[in-house]
Structures are given as structure tokens and as C-alpha cells.
């Protein structure tokens, strides 16, 4: 069974950098079968795809966030990470990591439980 678990600070100050890590079990991120994504959901609102990383290190980001986002991976720990710089209150959200899209597909089949990150001084 594939499981993903997000970890990181729950509170970040405005203008600082948000950093989260996703630990994957039940699958290897060092595989060409899937990309690995970050998705967020502001309180009471809908879902927004942030970006993905491939086992090769190839990344692709949402154009609306591209200038502030970096996704990296650590295959030795089967983890991938998100950095979002210059955060504001608008970045307050539950952040999910997810498996997907699959190579040749467009869906996300396994999700972490999510972690709430609040941006506040």
C-alpha cells in the first residue's frame, strides 16, 4: 500500500520560506512510472496544483507560482520536498503531497493526509 506523509513547520512568518517534506512508503520515487506532486488547499477553498518532480530531477511548476517554488528529491530517503519563498497570508493552506501524474497520464492516485501551514507573524 502506497503511503505519503507530509512533515514540516505549521507556522511560517510572512516573507519567509515555507519548507515541507514528503516521505513515501510502499513505492520508490526512483522510478520512471510516476511523477510526484505537491497540491494545496486554502481553508474552505478548492485545490491548486503546485508542481511535480520526476525521478530524474525534472521539475515542472504551476506558472502562477513558478517564480517562488522549488521541488527537490532525496532518493536515498525516498522523500521529495517543497520550498515556497516570500510567503504571504494567501499561502496559508493545507499542503498535500501526492503520487502523480503517472507517466502518460494526468491523475493523482495516492495522497498524503495533508499538513496545515499558516503564514502569520
Answer for which of 1, 32, 63, 121 binds another protein (CB under 8 A) is 63
The phi-psi region of residue 86 (left if phi > 0; otherwise alpha if psi is between -120 and 50; otherwise beta) is left
* Residues from 19 through 48 that contact another protein (CB under 8 A): 37, 46-48
111 binds another protein (CB under 8 A): yes
- Residue 66: CB minimum distance to another protein, A: 8
Question: What DSSP string runs through 86-116?
Answer: S--GGG-EEEEEEEEEETT-----EE---EE
- Interacting residues with another protein (CB under 8 A): 37, 46-49, 62-63, 96, 101, 105-114
Amino acid at each position: 500500500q502506497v503511503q505519503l506523509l507530509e512533515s514540516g513547520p505549521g507556522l511560517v512568518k510572512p516573507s519567509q520560506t515555507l519548507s515541507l517534506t514528503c516521505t513515501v512508503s510502499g513505492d520508490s520515487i526512483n522510478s520512471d512510472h510516476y511523477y510526484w506532486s505537491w497540491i494545496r488547499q486554502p481553508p474552505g477553498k478548492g485545490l491548486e496544483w503546485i508542481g511535480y518532480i520526476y525521478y530524474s530531477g525534472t521539475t515542472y511548476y504551476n506558472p502562477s507560482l513558478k517564480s517562488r517554488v522549488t521541488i527537490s528529491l532525496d532518493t536515498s530517503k525516498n522523500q521529495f520536498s517543497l520550498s515556497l519563498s516570500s510567503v504571504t497570508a494567501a499561502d496559508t493552506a493545507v499542503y498535500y503531497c501526492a503520487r502523480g501524474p503517472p507517466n502518460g497520464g494526468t491523475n493523482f492516485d495516492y495522497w498524503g493526509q495533508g499538513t496545515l501551514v499558516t503564514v502569520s507573524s
